[in-house]
Amino acid sequence: MEDMDIVQAYRAHQHATCFQLLYDRYAGKVFSKAMTMLHRESEAEDAVQEIFTKIFTSLGKFEGHSKFSTWVYSITYNLCIDKIRRGKRSRELFATEMDDPPDTAEEVPDEALLTMQVSELRYVLGQLTEAERTLLLMKYKDGVKVRAIAQLLGKNESAVKMQLKRIKEKAKRIHDKQFATIS
Amino acid sequence: MNSFLALRDQELTQFTGERRQKVRHRVERNLHTAEFIASVVELFGPVLADTMNVLGGGHSMLEGEKLRILSETEDDDPYGPGPGVGEIVR
């Protein structure tokens, strides 16, 4: 059954089964995306609750111009950004300039990050700042396009690309420093 | 599978079972509360707005709404006179 069919059925009858279907389909994904932004399980769990309440109370506004999943994810990111702003953690996340000076070296290929072990990746992510971690996860874990990230964070596309480039370099440096010497 | 997707899968498995159900119940409770509040507003909102309007010196919106009373209806005795009406009972 397509998402839109369930949405229409829920609008018509507000049946609990429709609610359960949509919740089961998206809860895990929404939680994962909330983790990308908020990094703490308890906060991500609260965010899931707020996001689904918002989704079902504004379901009447969903006109079907975009995919339902796109609509859900935009609500997820916007709500998480609001939470970050409220938590006064926004200065770092929305800053355009990074601490690192621009690096003229060749760009780190994606494979360098994608082929890490999960435990290694967790370590590297733990060493990055919140803003760096968020950007990297949005791009590679959630598969959000650079243009969409730029829109969500209120930055221009080239600034996001530059930030990603620097974050990848930093992540590679951290990884090599910790794991290259061990192996 | 790349490391980021593996990380995502690990997170997906974190949010299952009781934890998932607990959040679902919380969402359902929120939705029921929202529905209840909406019903109350729908029911009493117009009357409350009218009261505020009158208190502010305005005219009641419900003034024009004239309810007909029984004696003014076209047929105030739909069943006709009962049996024995007008007869003198001795």
- The structure tokens 């609500």 sit at A75
pTM beyond cutoff 0.80 = no
Give the nearest chain A residue to B11 (CA atoms): A32
Interface ipTM: 0.77
In order along its 183 residues, chain A shows pLDDT tens digits of: 888 888 888 888 888 888 889 999 999 999 999 998 888 889 999 999 999 999 998 888 888 888 898 899 989 999 998 888 887 666 666 665 555 555 555 677 888 888 888 899 999 999 998 888 889 999 999 888 999 888 888 888 999 999 999 999 999 999 998 887 655
Continuous segment of H or E residues that includes residue B48:
helix B17-55
- Angle (CA) B4 B6 B9, round 5°: 115
Range B21-29 contact pairs with CB under 8 angstroms and sequence separation of 24 or more: B23/A27, B23/A45, B23/A48, B23/A49, B23/A52, B24/A20, B24/A23, B24/A27, B24/A52, B26/A49, B27/A23, B27/A49, B27/A52, B27/A53, B27/A56, B28/A16, B28/A19
Q: Distance (Å, rounded) from C-alpha A55 to C-alpha A67?
A: 14
Residues A95/A130, Cβ–Cβ less than 8 Å: no
Residues of A in contact with B11 (CB under 8 A): 28, 31-32, 35
User: Are A27 and B28 in contact (CB < 8 Å)?
Assistant: no
User: For chains A and B, what is the number of CB pairs under 8 angstroms?
Assistant: 72
